[in-house]
Amino acid sequence: MERQKLYSKTLRAGKRTYYFDVKKGRDGSTYLVITEQKDDKRNRLMVFEDRAEEFVSLLREAVDKMKER
């Protein structure tokens, strides 16, 4: 079974573009791929379903700290 894209959104931010894709793996697991693209460089971060809530919680905490400054 090939990886199936379940959801996709794009965020353009100046010279950078962010892609948020939710995919289903060959084994049936679901995961989020966040891709940052700037010029010809591409960075990817994968967040698996079993850690998604913890990831979002820590991301929210970090964003809240940024707002304090």
Predicted confidence (pLDDT) per residue in 16-45, tens digit: 999 999 999 999 999 999 999 999 999 999
pTM: 0.87
Share of the chain above pLDDT 70, in %: 97
Distance CA 69, CA 47 (A): 27
The one-letter amino acid code at 36 reads: E
- Alpha-carbon dihedral 16, 22, 24, 28, rounded to 10 degrees: 130
Neighbouring C-beta atoms of residue 32, cutoff 10 Å: 19
Confidence (pLDDT) at 2:
59
* CATH code linked to domain 4-68: 3.10.450.700
